Chain A
């Protein structure tokens, strides 16, 4: 076993250990065992950082991959299925190494932060236990080498998300939100499972690598449409987990969970798992499936951004912003900007975690006030939070010199390239929605910054009406923190302690461009995009047969493939197919000389002409994307400043002027209401129908049978009573009567018997002589 694999197993299992210790023993440990959670996660992060260092910095090989697996379940030869083996395995490649480092770092920081934020909660220890199992499951997703095990961990993160959203389960809204999250995820997971089954039915394996190899070898026995369907079904898992339209409704409600959880699970890691999963199966997605993914991503990005501009709750703005940014990532994958989407995943994880932890610090300092209308002026009270929040906001809005700028522009450039490749006008909707969302993002973040940090404090403006929704809401939030609040009373807002500041500083630092690329304007020059090259698809478009398509590696990658045995084995397997496919690649890429030269930005060629063209046009569109999006960001921020800082436009008056639009945004496009009216009411209706059917038809049948049986039994009983018993009784009666008659003959006197014998003899003689005579 490769030493990196051993380390990865340790990384995977340590958080589970933390969970086991804390869930059982937290009450017996000093400080409820929080130091165990933080310590274990610190260790885990150190190991992950070592893996990251080895894989990314030392080897610096875009095709690095080591894998290890074992047979977990062997069902033998299952009738109707064939040999069924379920393997469990771990794969470490560049993407895994980056994700490991990211997940463990954010998890560690959130653990540390939680020691401050959750202080005094009555389930303090349990909180850390839940964080542990979440981290374990998330790392499982990251490390899985096959669809089966990722599905298991997928469900496990769903479970931990459920547990953590409902952490304040005494609150009804939290209990509702956790159920909603779980159910929405279930819908997506069903699709994902069906997708896995479609692939399994064809390839009889769950392993990514085997599936891709068999797919590129043309072993997919069904039509192209089935492969598209499989891709879309697998993407449904992402729709659920990454909160894409139409299953996005759960994520904003998930903000009922504690804020560190929102940062860790519902902003940085778990919701990104969907994107990560789509990236893992990226090469088997057909162009048709990718189109759908691109449109869903674009629509989600736009819709969520429009909702975010009118929300009042600080966390809800960030939640919709998360949905919007996840839409960007999905859009990025859909348009084929694979590296850009994953780049955005990582940068977003850091700056959004920073924003959530910052908002957590604000909420903590404001005694659980979440409504931005009653904040304001916090820059003076909370300078650290303010500074880090500003940096993360710039990254989210996509201002130059930040990580978000690079990743978002890479996605938008990809979207432009995609639209140009596809040609038809409606494909331009994708980049247009993307750019417009960038404007909206800048606007709502400018609004948030201004409302929270600038101006004067508006705490005193808050109506004390107990029926006010937000007041009630905030009050409920106190439940877990009663003692804490008493002690604070009405003291002025002050900066949070070091254990909550440190994560903010680290995360803000990771939102700066220099971490990823030396050139603040081009993420493509950074290490990230080089280490995570877009893999070549293994399926062709409709015009190309599937068998023509070719496995992930270009000639250059082959040359540099480093030592690990897994890579070599793969290379050997792919070797014989390589030559014809490469020839094919050159043939089809001829119309685009720069692409065919194999020396564009990402530095490798694509066998698939569509991918090659997208890559080429994306590269060409890079500068235009930067220009447009910068203009959009400046417009957005400028507009927000006009409205909220210079007060040139009165937001309330504007809202009244465009009331229908305002209400649509404020009420989240009425999706909840629409779902309430259709799916929930529909389910209720169906349930009522079934209940009626149950009560009247099924119960009726059962009762009818019961009545029939009773009637029949009654008849049967009567027959027994009168016919059968009658016969028996008659026999008895007859025997009794005749016995009564006959017993008169038995006098007990011998002489009577003698007389009878004599009579009998006499009778016999009479008979005999009568015979003789006649």
Chain B
């Protein structure tokens, strides 16, 4: 228990930051659109951890509520994003984002 109480908000935030950095790294470097989507999920979860950590240390329920919203939103987002990816695949016959650069013009 003592060990547990030694875990402070900094630990949470550190985890969250690492998670965010990993997600961001995935988004920035991966070519597969699905992997990028996974990176986005990581970023969202990093944010969730932040919400929960602050909620726990702040004592209110707002953070919990917010993280629930984010999870719902992430689910919706995943659905939409997957639909987009499927469409991209249909049109470009690939899910490699580096070759989908028609937004250039």
A755 at the interface (CB under 8 A from B): yes
| B8-16, B48-56, B72-80, B94-102 - the one binding chain A | B94-102
Which chain A residues border B36 with CB–CB below 8 Å?
Answer: 750-751
Q: Are B97 and A758 in contact (CB under 8 A)?
A: no
Cα–Cα, bound, A758→B103 (Å): 20
Binds B, one of A391-399, A405-413, A741-749: A741-749
A751/B98 in contact, CB under 8 A: yes
Q: With A749-B97, A750-B97 in contact, do A755 and B28 touch (Cβ < 8 Å)?
A: yes
Can you list 6 A-B pairs, Cβ within 8 angstroms, ordered by A?
A748-B102, A748-B103, A749-B101, A750-B97, A751-B97, A751-B98
Interface status of B27 (Cβ within 8 A of chain A):
yes
Q: Give the A-B contact count at a CB cut-off of 8 A.
A: 28
CB contacts (< 8 Å) of A758 on chain B: these are 24, 28
> How many A residues touch the partner, as a band?
under 10
| A503-562, CB < 8 A from B | none
Question: Given A751-B97, A751-B98, are A746 and B27 neighbors across the interface (CB < 8 Å)?
Answer: no
Which residues of B are found within 8 Å of A747, using beta-carbon distances?
101, 104
B104 touching A748, Cβ below 8 Å:
yes
A461 at the interface (CB under 8 A from B): no
Nearest opposing residue in chain B for A746, CB measure: B104
- Does A754 lie at the interface of the complex (its beta carbon under 8 Å from any beta carbon of B)? yes
A755 and chain B: residue at smallest CB distance: B28
**Which residues of chain A from 738 to 774 have a CB within 8 Å of any chain B CB?**
746-751, 754-755, 758
Residues 46-105 of B contacting A (Cβ, < 8 Å): 97-98, 100-105
Cα-based distance from A295 to B102 in the complex (angstroms) = 115
CA–CA, A751 to B24, complex, Å?
10
Residues of chain A within 8 A of B29, CB atoms compared: 751
Classify the interface of chain A: helix, strand, loop or mixed. helix
Q: Which of B28, B98, B101, B103 contacts A754 (CB 8 A)?
A: B28
- How many angstroms from the CA of A47 to the CA of B65 in the assembled complex? 129
Bound Cα distance A693, B24 (Å): 93
Contact with A along B12-27 (1 / 0, CB 8 A): 0000000000001001
B interface with A by C-beta (< 8 Å)? 24, 27-29, 36, 97-98, 100-105
In the bound assembly, the distance between CA atoms of A755 and B36 in angstroms comes to 13
Q: Which residues of B contact A751 (CB under 8 A)?
A: 27-29, 36, 97-98
- Chain B's nearest CB lies how many Å from the CB of A170? 89
For B103, list chain A residues within 8 Å (CB). 746, 748
Asked if A748 and B24 sit within 8 Å, CB to CB, the answer is: no
Docked complex Cα distance between A751 and B40 (Å): 12
Q: How far is the CA of A749 from the CA of B24 in the complex (A)?
A: 15
CB distance from B19 to the nearest CB of A (A): 16
Interface centre among B27, B28, B100, B105 (most CB of A within 10 A): B28
Given A748-B102, A754-B28, 5 more A-B residue pairs with CB atoms under 8 Å apart are A746-B103, A750-B97, A754-B24, A755-B28, A758-B28
Chain A residues within an 8 Å CB radius of B102: 748
* A748 cross-chain contacts in B, Cβ below 8 A: 100-105
How many angstroms between the C-alpha atoms of A202 and B25 in the bound complex?
A: 114
Q: In the assembly, what is the distance between CA of A185 and CA of B105, in Å? A: 92
Interfacial residues of chain A within 712-757, with CB under 8 A of chain B in the complex: 746-751, 754-755
Chain A residues whose C-beta falls within 8 Å of the C-beta of B28 in the assembled complex: 751, 754-755, 758
A744 to chain B, nearest CB (A): 10
Nearest A-chain residue to B104, judged by Cβ = A748
Q: Which residues of A contact B104 (CB under 8 A)?
A: 746-748
Bound CA span A754–B98, Å: 13
* Whole-angstrom distance between the Cβ of A22 and the nearest chain B Cβ: 92
Instruction: Please give the distance in Å from B94's CB to the nearest CB on chain A.
Output: 13
Inter-chain CA distance A755–B97, complex, in Å, is 14
| Shortest Cβ distance from residue B18 to the other chain A in the assembled complex, whole angstroms | 16
Which residues of chain A have C-beta atoms less than 8 A from B24's C-beta?
Answer: 754, 758
**What separation, in Å, do the CA atoms of A750 and B28 have in the docked complex?**
9
A746 to B101, CA, bound (A): 9
B76 to chain A, nearest CB (A): 19
How many whole Å from B17's CB to the nearest CB in chain A?
Answer: 13
List residues of chain A with CB within 8 A of the CB of B98: 749, 751
Whole-angstrom CA separation of A168 from B100 in the bound complex: 103
Contact B97 A754 (CB under 8 A): no
What's the minimum C-beta distance from A633 to chain B, rounded to whole angstroms? 124
